Chain A
Amino acid sequence: NAGVMQNPRHLVRRRGQEARLRCSPMKGHSHVYWYRQLPEEGLKFMVYLQKENIIDESGMPKERFSAEFPKEGPSILRIQQVVRGDSAAYFCASSPPGGVPLSFFGPGTRLTVL
């Protein structure tokens, strides 16, 4: 059973471009969580999704950021018109229904905005 997968592991974008980050949960896990980590900071909650539903997006900026978890395929975190302040490590985690939510994090995507 592969762990939580994220790709790409490293992503470089110029200001104004779009960034698409992917998260494939562990097999049997239908809940996905996205967190952002700025350099030398703790993680900050962004969004919690279940298949085809956004449960809580209160941590996600209203502008430029969106997330989805379709019936088939990975969860996608999309950042439009990236700015330098978006540079961070983005981690996702997954859990089965009723499981401990943040037991298993993926390896993260390190986004650098030039």
Chain B
Amino acid sequence: GENVEQHPSTLSVQEGDSAVIKCTYSDSASNYFPWYKQELGKRPQLIIDIRSNVGEKKDQRIAVTLNKTAKHFSLHITETQPEDSAVYFCAASTRGGSEKLVFGKGTKLTVNP
């Protein structure tokens, strides 16, 4: 079945720096790759997503890149702020469709003021 690896598991940056989180997936049929932000005790929130027919997508300070050949995708956060501190999860769709996502184990991002 599909497997999603996420790195690093923890990431600490200074306010204003950039943060990059990387994920790899195993199923070449995957075609939808969302990213979620989850604050402690809260629900996961979809922050950006990308489909396999696109190589890059940007929304203000966040961007996602996708390399289908290498089966990896990355989240980039620029000009980080303390409120960006949270756990970030990548996910990939499966052959079952985008209703059935496989999630990475998460990256705990800490932005130090």
Q: Using a CB–CB distance below 8 Å, which chain A residues touch chain B?
A: 31, 33, 40-45, 48, 55-56, 58-59, 91, 100-108
Q: Is the CB of B99 within 8 A of A101?
A: yes
Q: A42-B104, A56-B99, A102-B34 are in contact. Are A107 and B43 (CB under 8 A)?
A: yes
Q: Is the CB of A102 within 8 A of B101?
A: yes
Q: How far is the CB of B53 from chain A (nearest CB, A)?
A: 15
Known pairs A42-B104, A106-B43 / 13 extra A-B pairs, C-beta < 8 Å: A40-B105, A43-B44, A43-B101, A45-B100, A45-B101, A48-B99, A48-B100, A100-B46, A101-B97, A102-B34, A102-B91, A103-B46, A105-B43
Q: How many of B's residues come within 8 Å of A, CB to CB?
A: 22
Interface contact tally, CB-CB below 8 A? 55
Q: Is the CB of B98 within 8 A of A100?
A: yes
Q: Using a CB–CB distance below 8 Å, which chain B residues touch chain A?
A: 4, 6, 34, 42-46, 49, 89, 91, 96-106
Residue of A nearest to B98 (CB): A101
Q: Is the CB of B100 within 8 A of A59?
A: yes
Q: Which residues of B contact A44 (CB under 8 A)?
A: 103
Q: How far is the CB of A87 from chain B (nearest CB, A)?
A: 15
Q: How far is the CB of A54 from chain B (nearest CB, A)?
A: 12
